[in-house]
Amino acid sequence: MAERKALQRNEELIQKQYVYIDKVREITGEKANTEGRRPTYDVRVFGCQMNELESEQLAGMLDEMGFAKAAPGEQADVIVFDTCCVRENAEEKIYGHLGLLKPSPGEKKSIIAITGCMMQQPHVVEKIRKSYHHVGIVFGTHNLYTFPELLYRHLTQGKRVFDVWDSEGQIVEGTPITRAEKVKAWVSIMQGCNNFCSYCIVPYVRGRERSRKKEDIVDEVKRLAEAGYKEITLLGQNVNSYGNDLGKTDAFADLLYALNDIGGIERIRFTTSHPKDLSDSLITAIKELPKLCEHLHLPFQSGSTRILKEMNRKYTKEQYLALVDRVRGSIPDISFTTDIIVGFPGETEEDFEDTLDVVRKVRFDQAFTFLYSKRTGTRAAELENQVPEDVKKERFLRLVELQNSITAEINRTYEGKTVEVLVEGISRYNETMYTGRTRNYKLINFTSPEDLTGKLVQVKIIRAWPFWLEGTVIPEGETS
Ligand code: 5AD
Ligand code: SF4
């Protein structure tokens, strides 16, 4: 069963959905009685961690409505796409998946619902309306929680349902959720973004910053601790501005202190941080709070001050490097990961050299590298001096090669060391191993004579691979 909890605020909005949940449950109950099995669902998620969290809410709603998760490979009765539009290739992937689901005569017809960032763009909704007739329900990010009502309408009226809200409302608490993991959980602390980086579609599809109330977040994390979760990752497009819309200053650090006191939670992470907003109080919190992990995901996007200005990032190359130094000065063993865009309009070879220079100087543990993708509606899409695809790709490869060599060098320094790992379960790389991460976010796959899922263990690293480290557990009581 999904976690089901209606909170005080927004009660009418969510209670209305619980009424629809019960109505759909009657329909699925009847179907289960006649067919001998509950109808099934499949939620397919694309994009960032916020989408992963929201796909857990979609699964939670479907569970509450009486559907069962489809077995791998089975075509479910209800298929929900939770989409991403941050780059063009994410959108193309989704059109590809949708195309494959067009039923031929005589084939099983699933109910196809589609939501997420991509649906907040009117031209996409029009394309779905005109060219993808097999899609039955279309809704957006601002009304994700109304899915039970939309599904009920579709089931009872048999017509296509389009309901995308063009502006954000308040954050609605109490949506059911079925989490994919048992040890670590995503916790959204805010929605939306006010930054309008010139390449980015997110502020247009996610709306302005809205923070959840501190007491709602604390309450959720306490319930997660009671359910046995050990690690939480706080999510927001820019967590460092958490609480600004509530008229508070330093609210993010304040929230972290409150969360650190919750018994049962062993580790706290957060993402994403904007360099312009990273406060000294946050650096102090990472240094002081035992549960707050020593890892910062700090996108720099470009090393060229000129391009950064065009991107509306509001910091220079030098300021970014100084910030990294300041953080390392306080927390020497902290690790950094980052996001980088290659080929922003007007990027010259010299600008790109600045990007490589930042990568060499900071020595990130990992970098997520992206080819610039023109997004309709953003300011950068209007710029004329787009970089040719072949130039972008050639720079991209050089950047990836440099970062991979740095990651490999950093990984090799772990060989022979012992690290603390929070065990998440069986490894995806190798079923004979367990998997987990260090506090500074290194991925570790290791052997262990027993299943220690959910425990903090000591692992001796025996070998560094390009993207993970291999180790063996040190039995409790023994030293390396
Ligand atoms: N093109 C390429 N990458 C982008 N990102 C955001 N918008 C674009 C775009 N138009 C990247 C940024 C951001 C990450 C989530 O996606 O690096 O940090
Ligand atoms: Fe996009 Fe910039 Fe907001 Fe991040 S901070 S979501 S890159 S506009």
The tens digit of pLDDT for each residue in 224-243 reads 999 999 999 999 999 999 99
Range 185-199 average pLDDT:
97
pLDDT of residue 479: 66
Mean pLDDT, the chain, whole residue set: 95
Pocket mutation for ligand 2, best pick of 117, 193, 373 (most atoms within 8 Å of C-beta): 193
Give the percent of the chain with pLDDT over 90.
91
Pocket mutation for ligand 2, best pick of 117, 195, 338, 378 (most atoms within 8 Å of C-beta): 195
The confidence band for 93, taking pLDDT boundaries of 50, 70 and 90, is: very high
Lowest mean pLDDT among 4-8, 390-394, 445-449: 4-8
pLDDT of residue 169: 81
- Closest ligand, as measured to the CA of 274: 2
> Is any ligand 2 atom within 6 A of the Cβ of residue 196?
yes
The domains of the chain, with CATH numbers, are 2-163 (3.40.50.12160), 181-293 (3.30.750.210), 297-412 (3.30.750.200), 418-473 (2.40.50.140)
pLDDT of residue 7: 44
> Is any ligand 2 atom within 6 A of the Cβ of residue 375?
no
Does residue 9 register a pLDDT over 60? Answer: no
pLDDT of residue 3: 54
Does residue 394 register a pLDDT over 70? Answer: yes
β pairing state of 443-447 and 456-464: unpaired
pLDDT of residue 104: 83
- Closest ligand, as measured to the CA of 203: 2
- Closest ligand, as measured to the CA of 298: 1
Q: What pLDDT digit, counting tens, does each position of 270-318 carry?
A: 999 999 999 999 999 999 999 999 999 999 999 999 999 999 999 999 9
Q: What pLDDT digit, counting tens, does each position of 424-474 carry?
A: 999 988 899 999 999 999 999 999 999 999 999 999 999 999 899 999 999
Predicted structure pTM score = 0.95
> Is any ligand 2 atom within 6 A of the Cβ of residue 340?
no
Give the percent of the chain with pLDDT over 70.
98
- Closest ligand, as measured to the CA of 344: 1
As for ligand 1, residues whose beta carbon falls within 6 Å of it are 86-87, 199-200, 299, 301, 339, 341, 370, 372-373, 375
The confidence band for 170, taking pLDDT boundaries of 50, 70 and 90, is: confident
Pocket mutation for ligand 2, best pick of 196, 200, 276, 307 (most atoms within 8 Å of C-beta): 200
Q: How far is the CA of 8 from the centre of ligand 2 (A)?
A: 31
Range 399-419 average pLDDT:
97
pLDDT of residue 8: 43
pLDDT of residue 430: 86
Ligand 1 atom closest to Cα of 340? 17
